[in-house]
Amino acid sequence: MTPQPPDLDPVIHAQARLRVVAALSALPVGDHMTFPYLRTVLDMTAGNLSVHLGKLEDARYVEITKTHQGRRPVTYVALTTRGRAAFDDYTAAIRALLDGATGSEQP
């Protein structure tokens, strides 16, 4: 019997959301990134990034904080503990999938 491939989190699996979570996971725990900086790093439009952040926020994988610096609005994005754990699980599932692919033989 062939082992079942690991399930991949559909929230993270979308390419744009995977890129967002990967970028945020590189930050130390508890740190955040500004929305414009994240948009620049990922080379995404503001609208596209907003849509994907909304899905990640709905899953409670990211926390979005809107505040002001002086009179200027600033939006911070951070990976939550739940989001970091989900990304760790996702990367473990990908590794297992790849290990299975390289260790299997075709009939």
pLDDT digits (tens, 9 = 90+) for 18-72: 999 999 999 999 999 999 999 999 999 999 999 999 999 999 999 999 999 999 9
The single-letter code of the amino acid at 100 is G
**5 band by pLDDT with thresholds 50, 70 and 90:** low
Sheet of strand 33-34: strand arrangement: 33-34, 72-79, 62-69
**97 band by pLDDT with thresholds 50, 70 and 90:** confident
Nearest residue to 32 (alpha-carbon basis) of 1, 62, 72, 10: 62
Q: What crossing angle do the helices spanning 15-25 and 81-103 adopt, rounded to 10°?
A: 110
Between CA 20 and CA 77 the distance in angstroms is: 10
Q: Give the number of other Cβ atoms within 10 Å of residue 8's Cβ.
A: 14
User: Which tokens sit at 101?
Assistant: 């692919």
